[in-house]
A and B are shown apart, each in its own frame.
Chain A
Amino acid sequence: MSEPIAIQAPQPSGIATSRIGTTGFAIGIAIVALVLAAALVGNWLVPADPFTQDLGNRLKPPFWMEGSQAGHLLGTDQLGRDYLARLVYGARISLLIGIMTVITSGVIGTTLGVLGGFFGGRVDDVVLFAITTRLSIPVVLVALAVVGLMGSGLGLVVATLGLLLWDRFAVVARATTMQVRNHDYVSAAWCAGASMPHILIKEILPNIASHLAVVATLEMALAILLEAALSFLGLGVPPPLPSWGLMIAEGKDYMFFSPWVIMIPGVALAVLVLGINLVGDGLRNLLGAERLR
């Protein structure tokens, strides 16, 4: 009985292959490395403090425009805070949220997917049901509601996104586990008297890890975009923390006169997400994960 699987490709991009080639992979790694470096050491290199207000120096333009100030390479925001310092600090927030969310959702999704794929039957039914239910929940709305009702904060945003974005991990872990579970080395481990946890963790997990790594990049990109959207709507990372989404929200009122206040964080966001997706794409080609599709 061949039925269409209940799980549709969950979110944009799916697992379809694409080929930008190794150049794309290299560019992606360069972008991610650059943002990571900015997040780690950026605020030591930038002399200004991201939180110090200077109301006499509000909305100064960046260096390529007329009227820019020597001390503020990317200008200042509506409260006179140095934009470069805030941008660099924002990289820290985006990456932190991306990584923490992927860890949380990765653990949940992989556990569910491996259990469903390995045991099949009733266990798999439950896992499939959980995935289907999760997919029908409107992510942005529920995330907004949770943060809106419980108060904003970095930890809460991570927990919420982590609890919402595990679906693709589960789908891929389940599918790959199903492929792997009948391989000879799993049977061999059974015969050698290995315990169930041993087989799941030592035999199955390493063999599906490459596929999960690709999913991790996609989910990280998604988490970063979602955090930005939540913060943009005022229900994510609380001010004065300079999340890129929040910077865009704060700059919104001035965008018609000083478009760069939304251009700078927006471009940073798009470039980081593009970089992560390029890395994911490169990994997929490198690890031969396209066999899955």
Chain B
Amino acid sequence: MLRLIARRLALGVLVALTVMTLAFLLTRLSGDLAVSIAGPQATQADVEIVRKAYGLDRPLYVQFFAWTGRAMVGDFGQSYFFKDSVANLIQKRLPVTLTLGLVGLSLALIVSLPLGILAALRENSWIDRGVTLFTMVGQAVPSFWLALILMIVLGLQLGILPISGTGTWQHFVMPGIVLAFTAIPALTRLTRSGMIEAMASDYIRTARAKGLSRARIIFKHALRNAAIPVVSIAAVQLGFMLGGSIVIETVFALHGVGYLGWESIAKNDFPVVQAVVLVLAVFYIGLTLLADILNALLDPRLRTG
């Protein structure tokens, strides 16, 4: 168990370092950063001043090691546009994104667990087909479009929720619903298939033979086994949701990390772009690690790995 965690941790660090390199290279794709930062009206002399001021005149590898060295201790440099340290910016925006992610995941689980269980218990019935159809439609609807539809219906026509901004908890409801929708199809399908598999297994037959009640069989025995993949995928999904929240945050003008990423891309603020890519990746890596550990804790067969 400890060895498993240690190996996963080492892998995670290695992946994070690779992503770091990629994030650095990514922001150098545009060719000459000094030109982009200085803006279209800048003269050649201005560009040279910018190049010097931001240290872009140094060789690429020097820039890279300078950046990674400082990034390791949480110093991501200064933002060009926001005139603040990148670490500060991210720290300020992170709670919004995390709240959104957790709201989204909770809503997704509240919807997909019962749906998946129901579909599995009534396999091949019209309920099952309905649930499958629902997941397929849910998968097909673009999240940003769903966001706009909710704005029209809940925000304008019914007037029960604010349309954009970050002020109160109500501001998280619509984005949370939209984000949940990005995870519901996968979680529902997984719950369903896990549950079907569990209900067909030998230990359920034994439990039935012992004369246990149906509720006890479903919730105590089947669900516990069906939950193993769901829990780990839920953690991974949260990682995807944090990464994918950029679209939803931008639509709702929710001032989270994703929105920060979008703003900084639009403003050519590359230190922020680099850092946001890295932070989101690190969250994902951490969550997959957590998923593996949860997996091992829930499934005794994996503990000895």
CB < 8 Å: which of B152, B265, B273, B302 contacts A2? B302
- Contact, CB under 8 Å: A4 / B296: yes
Pick the interface stretch among B58-66, B70-78, B180-188, B206-214.
B180-188
Determine which residue in A3, A140, A146, A266 has the highest number of CB atoms from chain B within 10 A of its CB, and name it.
Answer: A140
List of A residues within 8 angstroms of B302 by Cβ: 2-4
Q: Is A191 an interface residue (CB 8 A)?
A: no
Q: A12-B185, A18-B136 are in contact. Are A142 and B246 (CB under 8 A)?
A: no
Given A12-B183, A144-B261, A145-B26: A266 and B145 within 8 A (CB)? yes
What B residues does A34 contact at CB under 8 A?
none
A18 and B142 contact, CB distance less than 8 A:
no
Contact A136 B139 (CB under 8 A): no
Residue of A nearest to B181 (CB): A12
Q: In the complex, which of the residues B14, B280, B281, B292 contacts A4, with contact meaning CB atoms closer than 8 Å? A: B292
Stretch at the interface among A36-44, A95-103, A170-178, A272-280: A272-280
B22 and A137 form a contact (CB under 8 A): yes
Provide the residues of chain B in CB contact with A256, threshold 8 Å: 152, 156
A13 at interface by CB-CB < 8 Å = yes
Query: Given the complex, which residues of A lie within 8 Å of B232, measured CB to CB?
Result: 4, 8
Residues of the A chain whose Cβ atoms lie less than 8 Å from the Cβ of B15: 129, 132-133, 136
In the complex, whether A271 has a CB less than 8 A from a CB of chain B is yes
The interface residues of chain A lying within 8 Å CB-to-CB of B261 are 141, 144-145
Cβ of A65 within 8 Å of any chain B Cβ, yes or no, is: no
Bound Cα distance A132, B236 (Å): 12
**Cβ proximity bits A251-284 to B, threshold 8 Å, 1 near / 0 not:** 0100110010010001001110110011001000
0/1 per residue, B254-270, Cβ < 8 Å to A? Answer: 00001001100110101
Interface of chain B residues 156 through 200 with chain A (CB within 8 A): 156, 182-183, 185-186, 189-190, 192-193
Type the 1/0 row for A214-245, where 1 means its CB is closer than 8 Å to any CB of B. 00000001000100110011110000000001
Residue of A nearest to B228 (CB): A4
Q: Which of A48-73 contact B (CB under 8 A)?
A: none
Interface status of A91 (Cβ within 8 A of chain B):
no
The reply to whether B247 and A140 form a contact with Cβ atoms under 8 Å apart is yes
Q: Is the CB of A8 within 8 A of B291?
A: yes
Residues of B within 8 Å of A1, CB to CB, are 305
- Residues on B with beta carbons closer than 8 Å to the beta carbon of A17: 193
**Residue among B124, B242, B261 having the largest count of chain A Cβ atoms under 10 Å:** B261
Q: Which A residues are in CB contact (< 8 Å) with B288? A: 6, 8, 135-136
**Does residue A16 face the partner (Cβ distance < 8 Å to B)?**
yes
Across the interface, A141 reaches (CB within 8 A) one of B16, B135, B185, B280, namely B280
Complex partner residue of A140 from B129, B140, B243, CB under 8 angstroms? B243
B contact residues around A19 at 8 Å (CB): 124, 128-129, 132
| Contact A18/B189 with A8-B288, A273-B139 known, Cβ cut-off 8 Å | yes
Q: Cβ of B247: which chain A residues have Cβ within 8 Å of it? A: 140, 229, 232-233
State A239–B233 Cα separation when bound (angstroms).
38
* Chain B positions within 8 Å of A183 at CB level: none
Q: Which residues of B contact A288 (CB under 8 A)?
A: none
Task: Known A12-B139, A229-B144, A269-B145; judge A144-B182 contact (CB<8 A).
Answer: no
CA distance A16 to B295 in the complex (A): 19
A98 to B261 alpha-carbon distance, docked (Å): 25
Choice from B132, B189, B242 contacting A20 with Cβ under 8 Å: B132
Q: How far is the CA of A221 from the CA of B149 in the complex (A)?
A: 21
Is A207 part of the binding interface, using a Cβ–Cβ cutoff of 8 Å?
no
Is B265 within 8 A of A229, CB to CB? no
B100 to chain A, nearest CB (A): 15
A-B contact pairs, 19 of them (CB 8 A): A6-B292, A12-B186, A12-B240, A18-B189, A18-B192, A19-B129, A136-B19, A136-B239, A137-B277, A140-B243, A140-B246, A141-B276, A141-B277, A232-B247, A234-B266, A248-B142, A248-B148, A273-B139, A274-B139
**Further 14 A-B residue pairs, CB within 8 A, beyond A136-B285, A146-B26, A149-B36:** A4-B292, A4-B302, A14-B186, A19-B129, A129-B11, A136-B281, A138-B284, A141-B258, A141-B277, A232-B142, A245-B142, A248-B144, A266-B141, A266-B142
Binding site for B on A (CB under 8 A): 1-4, 6, 8-9, 11-14, 16-21, 129, 132-133, 135-142, 144-146, 148-150, 221, 225, 228-229, 232-235, 245, 248, 252, 255-256, 259, 262, 266, 269-271, 273-274, 277-278, 281, 293
Sorted from nearest, which 5 A-B pairs have the closest CB atoms? A138-B243, A149-B30, A274-B140, A273-B140, A12-B186
